[in-house]
Amino acid sequence: MREKNIKIVYILGPTSMDGSLISLQIILDGMIDLGCDIVILISNLNCNYDFIDYIKARGCVLESFEDETSVYPDCQLFGWQNNFVKFPWRLMRKLYRLSRSNQQVLTLIQKHNPDIVHTNVGVFQQGLRACNKLGIPHLWHLREYQTKDFGWTIMPSKSSFKRLLRTTNVVAITNDILEYFDLKSIKTAKAMWNGILPAASAVYVHEKKPYFLSANRISPEKRVEVAIKAFASIADKLPEHRLIIVGKSQNKSYSEKLAELVSSLSVGDRIEFHDFRPDVVNLMKDATALVVASNFEGLGRMTVEASFMGCLVLGRNTGGTKEILNATGGGYLFNSSEELKEQMMRVANIAGTEAYRKKALAAQRIAIDNFSNEQYCLGIFDMYKHIISIQTN
């Protein structure tokens, strides 16, 4: 007798093209290929229609809900939009919207009656609350710290969130995130690095082109200005090099500050800005190095993508960036702007040499073994089957 297909409800929320969506799309493709029935709950606002059309074409069922997050509204002493005087009203509005969102998600999960629910990011608590009421297995994907990477404050508190995590199954994208939420000793929680690319996509180009690459969304926590200032300070020593910055702006005032900074520099004409590009990996394979200056990365897809593309990474010595580079050896870590300048000079001096080739190919081998889409999807699928079997027995 043919084994019954597993039916999965995914709680996604926004469909903006960021790391969490890209990672989920890899899972979706893998689960569809494995014969699963897929229902996806997405935000009813700011829809990415390219993604929506793609998953519809692959036979997924789409439902929309009000995607209210369980983090407190911003509260600042100055600034009209997030002024502390408005905070009580904004909090009451959020609590009302959360109540509506919880009910919507409960109704949708009840309607589709899945074998398991998979919440794709940590800021949505609706899925677990619904599953607890309905007796349905739940898996929570922790892709962010929420606090030290995005500066959010978890509702009602970080300690209560940690207690909530202990009531469900958790997969964190790094060991550091698992440890941050005190889950290392919890049997129902584990770390699993994201799938990044198919194994066959790995390439290595020995002759590197004279540019450094920064590739991430353009927002304050990514610290793009650090890469700009470091490049500007060593640009006279590397007269052929450029800095290429690729990413979609998600903060207008921050983007304007970056533009002002670049225009004030004597080497501003050697710093290029490009909007989000789906083919950014093609820039990686030729780059001297990828610069990851974020204060904290949950994992940092770009760090691993660079290893697949045979490109060394200069990454901040924190969070997922530190964990990945320590595991792969695919680059050099820095703690300060001064160290970043030194590492930029270091990697520029070995580009195109045997030392660069050996380091990049060793990291690429580890990336293929640990971050390929194939092994990642099989690992997630096995997790689903285990969770379902535990709850149904």
Domain ranges of the chain: 7-195+372-392, 199-371
Per-residue model confidence (pLDDT) at position 231? 97
DSSP 270: G
Q: What is the pTM of this model?
A: 0.81
Q: What phi and psi, each to the nearest 5 degrees, are found at residue 11?
A: -100, 105
Q: Which amino acid is at 338?
A: E
What topology is assigned to 199-371 in CATH?
Rossmann fold (3.40.50)
Scored b (16 or more CB within 10 A) or e, 192-201 reads bbbbbbeeee
Asked, colleague to colleague, whether 7-195+372-392 and 199-371 share their fold, the answer is yes
If pLDDT is split at 50, 70 and 90, which confidence band does 76 have? Answer: low
Q: Identify the residue with better confidence: 287 or 18.
A: 287
Task: Tell me the per-residue pLDDT of 1-48, one tens digit each, with 9 for 90 and over.
Answer: 346 799 999 999 888 877 788 899 999 999 999 999 999 999 988 788
- The string of DSSP codes covering 75-121 is -BSS-STTBGGGHHHHHHHHHHHHHHHHHHHHHHHHHH--SEEEE-S
In CATH, which superfamily holds the domain spanning 7-195+372-392? Glycogen Phosphorylase B; (3.40.50.2000)
Measure the CA–CA gap between 306 and 281, rounded to whole angstroms: 7
Average pLDDT over residues 164-168: 96
